[in-house]
Amino acid sequence: MEKGPFSVEWLAQSSRGRAQPMAAACQPRSPPGDSGSQESPADLGDPGHEAEAVGGATPGRPRTKFSATQLQELERSFREQRYIGASEKRRLAAVLNLSQSQIKTWFQNRRMKFKRQTQDAR
């Protein structure tokens, strides 16, 4: 039985953003690690590679390195209040020369770090 354009395999690939034309979908693929393979690791369907390409920060954007002064002010603010309000977020962003989303993300990450530390202490 010939696979039509809407086979289960085709639908699975299209849901992962890897839909191929009918002719390409029917051709056998060489096994991963084959020296003749022209595919990049992201095309191999490895979930680890796919998650890296899809999730996380914008590709190519470097990780933010906070200065000691910025960290000191963020930690001081965190000690006062674990959840930051909109006005405090705006103030910190202006004072520390960071974006509001960077401030928000830092607080989210810091709360998770705090949670891990308190759980480990028990």
- % the chain with pLDDT above 70: 54
pLDDT at 61: 76
Smallest Cα–Cα separation from 92: which of 111, 73, 65?
73
What is the CATH architecture of 67-121?
A: Orthogonal Bundle (1.10)
Residue 23 main-chain phi, psi, to 5 deg: -65, -40
Domain edges within the chain: 67-121
Output the pLDDT for position 121.
87
Examine the pLDDT at 113 and tell me if it is beyond 90. Answer: yes
Q: What is the pTM of this model?
A: 0.52
